[in-house]
Amino acid sequence: MKTLGIAIVGCGTVGSGTASLIHVRKEAIRQRFGVELELRHLVDLDHGKVRELGLPQTLFRTDYREALNDPKTDVIVELVGGTGFAFQLLQEAIEHRKHIVTANKKLLAEKGSEIFSKARAAGVSLGWEASCGGSIPIIELLGTAYGPSRLGAIHAILNGTTNYILTRMQRDHVTYAHALQEAQAEGYAEADPTLDVSGADTAHKITLIAGLAFGRTIPLKSVPTYGIQSLSLNDVRSGESLGYQLKLLATAELRQEGFAIRVGPAFLEAGHPLANVSGVFNGVTLLGSAFGLQTLIGRGAGSYPTANAVVADLIQLALDLTQVFQKNFEILPGIAPEAEALSDDIVLRRWLVILPVQAGSSPQLSMAQAGLELEGINRLEFPDGKVYRLVTQPATLGTLRTVLGPEARCYPIVSTPREVLSPEF
């Protein structure tokens, strides 16, 4: 029976959940897969969370080098986060010919080029399922099951914190500040939520997912990214009466104009598969030339959903499915050709625009003078002010900003992807 020696570096929420899942499910995994997952090292400066599991004290380490120098350690599970020590750890792991499993999307999105290249050169496998979709096995599916199809579009909700906040704002009409405070009290948001609410966390994830899906390197800087910090209840209410749901949406699409990728608040039409994905759940909708439209929904954060993805990668390593990991290297940052993404200002989209009512202003006239068509315009009155709500025909964001000015709040209206538009990519 194959035994996989495991060192977990970083024993916080996800690390302790991973150790617990391996400990509790060890016998079931052995019986089902015929492999032994052996915990050899639990590395952290503070073992508070993992100590509660009742695991042998002999597993606890404060120096990660003990794990690297152990010839029976086959894989380093990096759950530290960040791009400093974690990057050093992965480099040293590769030098010691240790396989790697990580949940660190920020590190892979920013420094993946060097990591993937070094891992491939050293013949080291790198599992990163846990970095992108929580409990949704999107990386494995893109690397295997979806391989025969040419993908045309990915629409995704990839951050549980922001989805929880937006759900509370829409269902209960609480303010952004109130919903954020609630999320923090429930443990869904960090004390400093900037990475989540700015859209940066989602941008890291869609960069990796789209890179694998479309076989291109996608530089993080090429992803237009907008957060939810400035959203108001007026924004939410303006879409409600039309049946739209406001989500922090990541999109990567082959369009008639070219390849477009974006992260930001967007109004989803009622029939969109992700419109009703609420709370801390994530969702990914994909359009493929052979399998059509498919949607995956699952918990996007937390100890055990992420730990499940980590352990799934460990099982694949134990089963010696390294060809799957190695194949994925061929279409990852720094190895595949770089994608040429369209500027967000020039992509044609339908927009819902919210504009404060000002004396003497006529957005309808301004749009007409610019040759832009409207599907509708309404004047809405809310407790904290009056606004115009415009629904546009396809237009570019750059044009709308020029015509309507900086006070216009522009949100894409997103429908269900229906066809693969571009024959090649």
pLDDT tens, residue by residue, 26-44: 999 999 999 999 999 999 9
Report, at the CATH architecture level, how domain 2-127+304-329 is classified.
3-Layer(aba) Sandwich (3.40)
**Winning range, highest mean pLDDT, from 52-56, 205-209, 288-292:** 205-209
Number of CB atoms found within 10 A of residue 297's CB: 17
Element at 16 (helix H, strand E)? helix 13-33
Task: From the candidates 205, 221, 327, 386, give the one annotated as an active-site residue.
Answer: 205
Inter-residue contact 127 to 324 (CB < 8 Å) = no
Is it the case that residue 385 has pLDDT exceeding 90?
Answer: no
Give the Cα separation of 35 and 33 in Å (integer): 5
- Which value, in Å, is the radius of gyration of the alpha carbons in the chain? 23
How much is the average pLDDT of 117-132? 89
Question: Which of 1-5, 96-100, 275-279 is predicted with the least confidence, judged by mean pLDDT?
Answer: 1-5
* Between 360 and 405, residue with greater pLDDT: 405
For residue 280, the one-letter residue type is: V
Give the Cα separation of 297 and 78 in Å (integer): 25
How much is the average pLDDT of 235-259? 92
Question: Which of 24-28, 145-149, 207-211, 227-231 is predicted with the least confidence, judged by mean pLDDT?
Answer: 145-149
Question: For the chain, what is the mean pLDDT?
Answer: 89
Give the Cα separation of 183 and 198 in Å (integer): 15
Q: Which CATH superfamily is domain 149-299 in?
A: Dihydrodipicolinate Reductase; domain 2 (3.30.360.10)
Q: How far is CA 167 from CA 182, 251, 383, in A?
A: 12, 20, 21
| Segment 161-200, tens digit of pLDDT | 999 999 999 999 999 999 999 999 988 888 899 999 999 9
How much is the average pLDDT of 75-93? 95
Q: What per-residue confidence (pLDDT) applies to 325?
A: 52
Q: What per-residue confidence (pLDDT) applies to 337?
A: 67
Give the Cα separation of 105 and 110 in Å (integer): 8
Q: How confident is the model at residue 421 (pLDDT cuts 50, 70, 90)?
A: very low
* Between 181 and 144, residue with greater pLDDT: 181
The structure's pTM equals: 0.91
Where do the structural domains in the chain lie, given as residue ranges?
2-127+304-329, 149-299, 345-414
Q: Examine the residue annotation and report whether 247 is marked as an active-site residue of this protein.
A: no
DSSP codes of every residue in 163-222? HHHHHHHHHH---HHHHHHHHHHTTSS-SS-HHHHTSHHHHHHHHHHHHHHHTSB--GGG
Q: What per-residue confidence (pLDDT) applies to 425?
A: 42
Residues 6+ apart with CB under 8 A from 108: 102, 115, 128, 131, 204, 208, 333
Q: How confident is the model at residue 335 (pLDDT cuts 50, 70, 90)?
A: low
How much is the average pLDDT of 303-318? 91
How much is the average pLDDT of 331-335? 50
The hierarchical CATH code for the domain 345-414 is: 3.30.70.260
Give the Cα separation of 278 and 281 in Å (integer): 6
* Between 52 and 205, residue with greater pLDDT: 205
